[in-house]
Chains A and B, each alone.
Chain A
């Protein structure tokens, strides 16, 4: 009897070990990853690509099909629907469409394939009910990280002039740019003792998520123009790395300039010495959760807007967004930045604490109030004090 009991216990332990943990198998599971830019852009698209690689690593046997540069300027012959047709034909049961540009087309094609799960990044059709039941939205809650980026810039600037290289104007880009501005104001006042109204913050929109020669303004020229007109810290809001590249060249020529890239963990590598840090997306954990749910048949529609792991902003297994200090950040600035981050984490300081006025002067968030998710998500204009067009 004794032996049998032991055997039973051993079996039970084995069984538990097999069930416990995240040992889901990806065998036979195929998912599609559709990117608007190149998969090696050191920016937005590469962050998604590596999120997909994270899924493959954690679900052994899973297969990812990638299609990059899906935009009418690079591939006038390709449509989202055509790419999805082929991915489904190859057995994909989950497809990530990783751009705001794909929002409408994803909703249409999701209706065509009700048995395939679609995840559109940065859209809101699952929130508003415009999308069918097999469509979810995922977005990283980047606002606080952008505020940290703005703070790092304000802690570093010597001229008091910050430049923001923006993509195109929509709710997402307005709220992210405004978040950077709010962080910059806060830190300029709190840690440097300056009047935040003296801080110049200028946005220049290039017209798209990345440079398309002849179509958008050239982000290289935009950055150069910033640095020629007194701006000494450029922040990037676009998918690619022109801002830090140009700032790196100028610094190598002896100018005192810095940059804050965006999107991708490794973006500082382009010019580490002048990189103050990078607010980055870490799609891996969220993508893995979706993929696991699809495999286990437990997926249900959702609109996810996941924030950082405040205990460790650069923990790649848990933080949906993060911030990584760059080598260009001074020790003093790093200490102040750490203080700001800890206060955001504890809730002592909120980025979107009123009073906040819109660029046209109208009141948006009253004194004493903090912006709600909806108010932040659907920010209609830039804020009072920011230079640059709101539409």
Chain B
């Protein structure tokens, strides 16, 4: 491995930083002030740190799930809908089911996982039985999940005073996750997210099932010939991913908000896809990138408030970063393209 090859993965990150810095300079803002404001916004006070962690939980859960589906060669873009269905299922228990104190929250979280798993399995079935590619099936199911949320908020779950399309009435205190120090962070959810990631890591590195998934992902046809039942593995990978995403949705309604709202996810599923792409599907990098995304997005709130710049700057930074990594992050591929180009010029 040459030295260039070793430091290569860092280059797109530096390039993205450069692009954002130039953008800041073009807007007449000191990049040092801007990045300082972002840092303050993410880590300046303990409240900001809790907020970064609280937003991280559903993102990490979804990203962990996506590691499974990507390993199986699936583009589970339906993850957004799986988060939403998890939120809806958790809300249903919180609103409609009265359980003894020790059972209420476990039941809500279990329902969230079931809701997400079911929605993911549906996308999986569409693929295995219906021949519908998971990207298209997933997108359709995402829209359905959003429509379903809107129907519930405007219809059967409308608050008793009626007349609002913002969300359901707040759940009872007994149905909400205990929050840490007046923040939106539930420590329980953070622990669950870390456990979920560890579980996925274990499955992928240390289990026979992970091996079969990998075989499937690399070549579904030869895996089939080797006796790996592709349909069952695919469905299982989808369902597991959906369960984790759904849990994330449950955490959104039970701690970040206190009710089912419109846009309950707001694109966390798509963010999670970006996280995993940016991490290059690598296990160890995934939680780091997810944390980085949460910090940048939270930091950009303060950035906007301090500098009054356009608020999309955080999105631009992460977007440029993902784009550059996808285009140029793979050293071997870049070198191949470079050589091809040169040889065609010479030839």
Chain A residues close to B by CB (< 8 Å):
65-69, 71-79, 82-83, 85-87, 90, 100-101, 104, 168-171, 174, 207-208, 212, 214-215, 380, 391
Is there a chain A Cβ closer than 8 Å to B76's Cβ?
no
- Residues of chain B within 8 A (CB-CB) of A78 are 301
In this complex, the member of A76, A77, A171, A212 whose beta carbon has the largest number of chain B beta carbons within 10 angstroms is A77
User: Which residue of the partner chain, among B51, B165, B268, contacts A82 with CB atoms under 8 Å?
Assistant: B51
A215–B262 contact, CB under 8 A?
yes
**Are A73 and B262 within 8 A (Cβ)?**
yes
CA distance A292 to B47 in the complex (A): 32
A182–B184 CA distance with the chains assembled, in angstroms = 45
- Contact partner, B267, options A73, A168, A174, A208, Cβ 8 Å: A73
Chain A residues with CB below 8 A from B55, complex form: 76-77
A107 shortest CB reach to chain B, Å: 12
Partner-A contacts on B (CB < 8 A): 41, 47-48, 51, 55, 142-143, 146, 150, 154, 158, 162-166, 170, 184, 256, 261-268, 294, 297-298, 301-302, 304-306, 308, 311
Alpha-carbon separation in the docked complex, A65 to B309 (Å): 11
User: Which 9 pairs from chain A and chain B are nearest by CB?
Assistant: A76-B266, A168-B165, A73-B263, A77-B297, A170-B163, A72-B263, A72-B266, A86-B305, A77-B55
B61 CB → nearest A CB, Å: 14
| Residues on the A chain within 8 Å of B311, using CB | 67-69, 75
Contact status A212-B263, CB under 8 Å: yes
- Tell me whether A215 and B150 are in contact in the complex, defined as CB-CB below 8 angstroms, given that A85-B47, A86-B301 are known contacts: yes
Q: Return the contact of B165 from the options A66, A68, A207 (Cβ within 8 A).
A: A207
Chain A residues within an 8 Å CB radius of B261:
72
Q: Is there an interface contact between A214 and B305, defined as CB atoms closer than 8 Å?
A: no
Residue in A75, A79, A87, A100 with the greatest tally of chain B CB atoms within 10 Å:
A75
Contact A71 B301, CB 8 Å, known A168-B165, A208-B165, A214-B146: no
CB of A68 to closest CB in B, whole Å:
7
Check if A75 sits within 8 Å of B305, measured CB to CB.
no
**Can you sample 12 A-B contacts with CB below 8 Å?**
A68-B311, A73-B262, A75-B301, A77-B297, A78-B301, A79-B51, A82-B51, A100-B166, A207-B154, A215-B262, A380-B163, A391-B158
Most buried by A among B154, B263, B306: B263
Structural contact, B162 and A76, CB atoms closer than 8 A:
no
Q: Is the CB of B165 within 8 A of A170?
A: yes
A391 touches B162 (CB 8 A): yes
Interface of B, secondary structure class, is: helix
Distance in Å from the Cβ of B185 to the closest Cβ of chain A? 12
* Complex alpha-carbon distance, A77 and B300, angstroms: 10
Q: Determine if B264 and A169 form an interchain contact, defined as CB atoms under 8 angstroms apart.
A: no
Chain B, residue nearest A86 (CB): B305
- Chief secondary structure at chain A's binding surface: loop
State the CA gap A296–B297 with chains docked (Å).
Answer: 38
Complex Cα gap A37–B154 (Å): 21
Q: Given the complex, which residues of A lie within 8 Å of B184, measured CB to CB?
A: 79
CB A76 to nearest CB in B, in angstroms, measures 3
Q: Which residues of A contact B163 (CB under 8 A)?
A: 169-171, 174, 380
> Complex formed: what's the CA distance from A85 to B298 in Å?
13
Contact B306 A90 (CB under 8 A): yes
Whether A208 touches B305, Cβ cut-off 8 Å, given contacts A169-B165, A214-B146, is: no
Can you name the residue of chain B whose Cβ is closest to the Cβ of A92?
Answer: B305
17 further A-B contacts with Cβ under 8 Å, apart from A82-B301, A100-B166, A104-B166, are A67-B305, A71-B263, A72-B261, A73-B263, A77-B55, A77-B297, A79-B51, A83-B301, A83-B305, A86-B41, A86-B302, A90-B306, A104-B170, A169-B154, A214-B146, A215-B150, A391-B162
B305 and A215 contact, CB distance less than 8 A: no
Is the pair A207, B305 in contact by a Cβ cutoff of 8 Å? no
Q: Which of B47, B165, B306 has the most CB of A within 10 A?
A: B165
Cα distance A78–B41 in the bound complex, in angstroms: 11
- Least distance between A325 CB and chain B CB atoms (Å): 32
- List the B residue with the shortest CB-CB distance to A209: B165
Q: Which of B164, B268, B302 contacts A170 (CB 8 A)?
A: B164
Is the Cβ of A73 less than 8 Å from the Cβ of B266? yes
- How far is it, in angstroms, between the C-alpha of A215 and the C-alpha of B41 when the chains are bound? 29
**Are B166 and A207 within 8 A (Cβ)?**
no
Q: Which of B41, B146, B166 contacts A101 (CB 8 A)?
A: B166
Q: Which residues of A contact B162 (CB under 8 A)?
A: 391
B304 with A77: CB separation less than 8 A: no
Kindly name the residue among B48, B265, B266, B268 whose own CB sees the greatest number of chain A CB atoms within 10 A: B266
Which residues of chain B have C-beta atoms less than 8 A from A391's C-beta?
154, 158, 162
Do B266 and A74 touch (CB < 8 A)? yes
- Chain A residue, CB-CB nearest to B58: A76
**Closest-CB distance, B79 to chain A (whole angstroms):** 14
Give chain A nearest CB distance to B171 CB in angstroms.
Answer: 13
Q: How far is A76 from B146 in the complex, measured between Cα atoms in Å? A: 15
Q: Give complex CA distance A65, B294 in Å.
A: 23
Contact of A76 among B170, B268, B305 (CB under 8 A): B268
Query: Given contacts A83-B305, A87-B305, A207-B165, are A77 and B294 in contact (CB under 8 A)?
Result: yes
Name which of A74, A82, A174, A212 has the most chain B CB atoms within 10 A of its CB: A82
Residues of B within 8 A of A82 (CB): 47-48, 51, 298, 301
| A76/B263 contact (C-beta < 8 A), A86-B302, A170-B164, A170-B165 known | yes
Q: Does A72 lie within 8 Å of B268, measured CB to CB?
A: no
Would you give the shortest CB distance from A378 to chain B, in whole angstroms? 9
Q: Which residues of A contact B41 (CB under 8 A)?
A: 86
Q: Which residue of A lies closest to B293 (CB)?
A: A77
Can you name the residue of chain B whose Cβ is closest to the Cβ of A79?
Answer: B184
Contacts of B166 in A (CB 8 A): 100-101, 104
* Cβ contacts under 8 Å, B256 to chain A: 79
Q: Which residues of A contact B267 (CB under 8 A)?
A: 73, 76
Decide: A72 near B264, CB < 8 A? Known: A77-B301, A86-B305, A90-B306. Answer: yes
Q: Chain B residues near A86 (CB, 8 Å)?
A: 41, 301-302, 305
**A79 surroundings in chain B (CB, below 8 A):** 51, 184, 256
**Bound Cα distance A214, B261 (Å):** 15
Least distance between A101 CB and chain B CB atoms (Å): 6
Q: How far is the CA of A72 from the CA of B166 in the complex (A)?
A: 10
CA distance A208 to B150 in the complex (A): 10
What is the CA–CA distance of A68 and B308 in the complex, to the nearest angstrom? Answer: 10
A212 to B165, CA, bound (A): 14
Bound CA–CA A77/B124 (angstroms): 29
